[in-house]
Amino acid sequence: MAIVPNSPALAELHHGAPCWVDLATTDLQATTDFYTGLFGWYYSDVDGRTVAVVDGLPVAELVAAAQPSAWTLYLNTPHARATADKAHALGGSVLGEPSELVTVLADPTGAVVGFRHVPSDWVFGTNGHGAYAWAELNTRDGHAADVFFQELCGFEITQIGDGQAVDYTLWAVNGNTVLGRQRMGRAFEPGTPPHWMVYFTAAPEIGADSVATRVLELGGRVTVEPYDTPFGRITVVADHSGAVFSVIDPSRAAPVTEADYAARIDDLDDLDD
pLDDT in tens, 156-192: 999 988 777 888 999 999 899 999 999 988 767 788 8
Residues 108 and 156 in one domain: no
Instruction: Please check whether residue 199 lies inside any domain of the structure.
Output: yes
Residues 136 and 43 in one domain: no
Residues 164 and 249 in one domain: yes
pLDDT in tens, 73-121: 999 999 999 999 999 999 999 999 999 999 999 999 999 999 999 998 8
Domains identified in the chain, total number: 2
Alpha carbons 253 and 248: distance in angstroms, whole number: 10
Alpha carbons 49 and 40: distance in angstroms, whole number: 19
* Domain with 92 in it: 18-116
Instruction: Please check whether residue 224 lies inside any domain of the structure.
Output: yes
Edge-to-edge strand ranges of the sheet holding 72-76: 42-46, 49-54, 57-64, 18-25, 72-76, 112-116, 102-106, 93-95
Instruction: Please check whether residue 8 lies inside any domain of the structure.
Output: no
Q: Do 83 and 151 meet the contact criterion of CB atoms below 8 Å apart?
A: no
Query: How many helices (H) does the chain have, and how many strands (E)?
Result: 5, 16
| CATH classification at residue 22 | 3.10.180.10
Residues 144 and 265 in one domain: yes
- pTM listed for this prediction: 0.90
Q: Which residue has the higher pLDDT, 206 or 67?
A: 206
Alpha carbons 112 and 137: distance in angstroms, whole number: 9
Residues 160 and 107 in one domain: no
Alpha carbons 225 and 122: distance in angstroms, whole number: 35
Instruction: Please check whether residue 157 lies inside any domain of the structure.
Output: yes
Name the domain boundary from 116, 151, 180. 116
Conformation bin of residue 94: beta by default, left when phi > 0, alpha when psi is -120 to 50: beta
Instruction: Please check whether residue 121 lies inside any domain of the structure.
Output: no
Asked if the model's pLDDT at residue 258 lies above 80, the reply is no
Terminal CA-to-CA distance of the chain, rounded, Å?
18
Residues 139 and 257 in one domain: yes
Name the domain boundary from 116, 150, 173. 116
pLDDT at res. 6: 43
H runs (alpha helix) in the chain: 28-39, 80-89, 142-153, 207-217, 258-266
Residues 90 and 189 in one domain: no
pLDDT at res. 10: 41
Residues 51 and 168 in one domain: no
Residues 136 and 265 in one domain: yes
Name the domain boundary from 87, 116, 145. 116
Instruction: Please check whether residue 154 lies inside any domain of the structure.
Output: yes
Residues 147 and 213 in one domain: yes
Instruction: Please check whether residue 255 lies inside any domain of the structure.
Output: yes
In which band, very low, low, confident or very high, does the pLDDT at 268 lie, cut at 50, 70 and 90?
Answer: very low
Q: Do 221 and 273 meet the contact criterion of CB atoms below 8 Å apart?
A: no
